[in-house]
Amino acid sequence: MEFKENYTQQLQRLNEYQKAAVFDESSACLVNANVGSGKTTVLITKVMYLHYEKQIPYEQMVVLTFTNKAADEIKERLYALEPEIKEEQLWGFGTFHSVCLTMLKKMLPVENLGYTKEFMVMDPDEELEMAEQLILTYQLKIKYKNRLKRRLEQKNSKYQDDIEKLKALLKEEKRRQDKMTFDELLDNTCKLVKMSAEIEEVSKKNANLQDNENTGMQDISWIIVDEVQDSDEKQLELIDCLKKTQTCFFAVGDPNQVIYSWRGSAFHIFYQLKTKYQATELTLPVNYRSSSEILAVARCFMQQGDTLQGGRENGDKIQIRNMYDPFQEADYLAGRIRELHASGLPYRETAVFYRLQNQSEIFEHVFEKEGIPFEVSLKKTVKDIPVLDWLIRVLRFSVNPKDKSSGIAALADKKYGDGMSVKEAEKTINILSENLKTQTEILKSENAKSGSDICEKMLEFSKVYVSKQVALPEDLWSYFSLENHLHPTTASYEEDRTYVMDFFTRMITYQKEQQKNVVEGFSEFLNMASLYGTNILKKEIHNENDTVKLMTLHASKGLEFSHVFITGVNYGLIPLQTKSFEEEEEEQRLFFVGITRAKEHLELSYYASPGQYRAAPGPSRYLRMIPGNLVEGQEKDRESSATHLQDLKRQILAERGEHRELQEAGKISGGKNPSANTETENISAENETVTTKKRRVRHPKYGTGSVVREDDMMLTVDFDDYGEKELMKMFGGLEELP
């Protein structure tokens, strides 16, 4: 069989360490996989080995990943080797949340928890909106509303207000609207799996109960986990719930890449799992990604193990560059990247890393001016595309009339909806949902807002389309009368219409592929959109577009590039100022992750004048941890004339309406060449100014406040209602008040 031949060829390409992991017979095995050691290859080959050599059906495997990208890669490689695989066979292959969604929809009696099989997934922002609606409806007294999300997550509150009442109302409202949060997908799956286990145990003891409801769950023979070091408590609990006595466990990960403690992951995960399951621990020590010089630098920042071995030839020594400020850095990088591209290196093989997202903005503007194609890695959701944010609310209420909060938000939207107040929208929804009158009579009633055609269409959608197998984008456009809501006379109309029709097309394609009726298919698609954001609309930044990639160190995890530039290696940026030893250790692991993304060339840089008040001038201690023999002799930095850099600053700042402000403050006057200071490491931090006279400003989102700190690039404003916020001058959108 062709597949078995491919499998055999795959085995032959493995090294001895990889084969040991694939062939391991332990009931529980943890594979400590160093960066670039082929862990994904090992994981996929393990699945193939279990299926072909051990005769384990795919249906009896649960393969859990942390990203949709990783799950898709595993599935695609299996499909490529064995095209006959059916999608339902791989029900257990996916992210933790997507697998739980499948189990709740198709295998577990979710009705026992007060939900229907048609329940919808809601993101954290939607839950917060629901909470705010409940506060308004029930006139609840809640302190510190600006911290509402955090307060809802806390188990015990030290404040005397209605927060516990709000939590109870929120829990009930989610059930009433048939909606679950991401965390509840995990929690409810665990609850139902435990309930099913109890029923099964009782059934064994009492033959009369054999006819009890069958959950439809397949016996799980193997649980396989990718990037296990990223697991949080809820995910570990899910693994524990799914793992029965006879279930085998196999996981790969790297403790040196624990960089998500703020999300619940912990450095001790490996030890915890090894102890709990009495697991065998194996190692994949050979890195096939990076040159020996880059690996030698990476070893300086490893916190666990000393087995990182190189599998490639020697390469270039790394470079450390001293830049005056981010403007000079961006100018230098534009020229350097242009040179690399002229020498034959594709743009997509180049990446620029930084610690904070706002650091990308200067690079973006300079690259745009210099004609360097680029992409910025951002964790975007549909909320970043207003018309899709509104459309999804319309569709969610249409396929699930219980989802009142989506209906209310759709009607209350000022740009695309009916522009109702939240109270008006809620009243209209309640009347339309609960009154026994016909839709037409209700809409004409004095209690409902007249002309709410979109509301009528949303409520009728399920009835009209439940039996239909086909829907066309043009029909949906016409059905919801979207021409009236997107307003053809507005500047955004053409772009909005393109977004909408593309979304309809993708939704319909998915519905047809799943062979569902329109309502069921759309409902599943919308749940996916909640789980994966805009990834469902556009490929992630690792795609093959020939562009330079700009991203934070966190976003770089899992990617690789020929040339990597890590910028701003100043204390206060890399690493950030930390409050604990644990946080400091994680900053070091994050730097390790960034270093190990590079294959051939790595360049680190720091600023004499970083322009962020938290950042100290001069190199951070991380650069002094690198032995001199690994660093190429410091070249004279690319010359940038004073005139050129000053003009560059003026151009960028003028575009954002900040030029006059800086000119008046004397920040861009004078003829001193900034590159003349590049050899001075210990420059005083006098570029940061703590204002004595309080300047009053107004921000379009945060309102009025006082400037408390300012430097060449940044402002810190103490807003009256929001506290301190740090803003870039050129993008802050601040209005000076008299």
**H-state helical runs in 400-479:** 404-412, 422-434, 439-444, 453-465, 473-479
Taking the C-alpha atoms of residue 124 and residue 174, their distance in angstroms, rounded to an integer, is 12
> With contact defined as beta carbons under 8 Å apart, do 609 and 683 qualify?
yes
Taking the C-alpha atoms of residue 152 and residue 118, their distance in angstroms, rounded to an integer, is 26
Taking the C-alpha atoms of residue 674 and residue 465, their distance in angstroms, rounded to an integer, is 66
Give the pLDDT band (50/70/90) at residue 711.
low
Taking the C-alpha atoms of residue 551 and residue 571, their distance in angstroms, rounded to an integer, is 19
Taking the C-alpha atoms of residue 360 and residue 81, their distance in angstroms, rounded to an integer, is 40
Q: Has residue 689 got a pLDDT over 90?
A: no
Q: What is the pLDDT at residue 97? A: 94
pLDDT above 70 covers what percent of the chain? 80
> With contact defined as beta carbons under 8 Å apart, do 348 and 549 qualify?
yes
Q: How many residues does the chain have?
A: 738
Taking the C-alpha atoms of residue 110 and residue 118, their distance in angstroms, rounded to an integer, is 10
Number of Cβ atoms within 10 Å of the Cβ of 718? 14
Q: What is the pLDDT at residue 687? A: 35
3-state secondary structure of 738: coil
Query: pLDDT, tens digit, for every residue of 588-639?
Result: 999 999 999 999 999 999 999 888 777 899 999 999 999 999 998 654 444 4
Q: Has residue 185 got a pLDDT over 80?
A: yes
Q: Closest Cα partner for 95 from 260, 221, 225, 273?
A: 225
Q: What is the pLDDT at residue 295? A: 92
In the block, residue with structure tokens 């910025």: 376
Give the pLDDT band (50/70/90) at residue 49.
very high
Give the pLDDT band (50/70/90) at residue 136.
confident
- Average pLDDT on 206-216 reads 47
Q: How far is CA 260 from CA 157, 183, 263, 690, in A?
A: 26, 17, 5, 33
DSSP character at residue 533? G
Q: Closest Cα partner for 396 from 121, 176, 81, 80?
A: 121
3-state secondary structure of 5: helix
For helices 642-655 and 326-342, the axis angle rounded to 10 degrees is 100
Taking the C-alpha atoms of residue 213 and residue 527, their distance in angstroms, rounded to an integer, is 26
Q: What is the pLDDT at residue 650? A: 65
Q: Has residue 524 got a pLDDT over 80?
A: yes
Cα 176 to chain center, whole Å? 29
Q: What is the pLDDT at residue 504? A: 94
**256: Cβ contacts below 8 Å, ≥ 6 apart:** 34, 35, 302, 303, 304, 305, 589, 592
Taking the C-alpha atoms of residue 566 and residue 569, their distance in angstroms, rounded to an integer, is 7
Taking the C-alpha atoms of residue 120 and residue 122, their distance in angstroms, rounded to an integer, is 6
In the block, residue with structure tokens 């319309």: 394
In the block, residue with structure tokens 């009158």: 437
Q: What is the pLDDT at residue 612? A: 76
Q: Has residue 321 got a pLDDT over 90?
A: yes
Structure tokens at 659: 């030029």
Q: Closest Cα partner for 177 from 506, 489, 399, 349?
A: 399
H helix or E strand, kind and range, residue 222: strand 222-225
φ/ψ of 623, rounded to 5, equals -70, -30
Taking the C-alpha atoms of residue 319 and residue 328, their distance in angstroms, rounded to an integer, is 17
Q: Closest Cα partner for 88 from 514, 510, 469, 508?
A: 514
3-state secondary structure of 343: coil
- The secondary structure of 633-691, three-state, reads CCCCCCCCCHHHHHHHHHHHHHHCCCHHHHHHCCCCCCCCCHHHHCCCCCCCCCCCECC
H helix or E strand, kind and range, residue 539: none
pLDDT above 90 covers what percent of the chain? 47
Taking the C-alpha atoms of residue 287 and residue 294, their distance in angstroms, rounded to an integer, is 11
Q: What is the pLDDT at residue 683? A: 28
Taking the C-alpha atoms of residue 439 and residue 442, their distance in angstroms, rounded to an integer, is 5
State which of 43-57, 264-278, 620-634, 664-678 shows the largest mean pLDDT.
43-57
H helix or E strand, kind and range, residue 24: none
Mean pLDDT of the chain: 82
- Average pLDDT on 70-88 reads 87
Indicate the Cα dihedral angle 154, 160, 161, 164, nearest 10°: 40
Query: pLDDT, tens digit, for every residue of 525-556?
Result: 999 888 876 555 544 444 568 999 999 999 89
Give the pLDDT band (50/70/90) at residue 435.
low
More confident residue, 208 or 72: 72
In the block, residue with structure tokens 């743009």: 347
**669: Cβ contacts below 8 Å, ≥ 6 apart:** 663
- Average pLDDT on 113-130 reads 90
Q: Has residue 729 got a pLDDT over 50?
A: yes
H helix or E strand, kind and range, residue 237: helix 233-242
Largest Cα span, the chain: 92
- The secondary structure of 547-610, three-state, reads CEEEEECCCCCCCCEEEEEECCCCCCCCCCCCCCHHHHHHHHHHHHHHHCCEEEEEEEEEECCC
Give the pLDDT band (50/70/90) at residue 684.
very low
Q: How far is CA 573 from CA 300, 356, 359, 611, 690, in A?
A: 19, 8, 10, 11, 20
**115: Cβ contacts below 8 Å, ≥ 6 apart:** 104, 175, 178, 180, 188
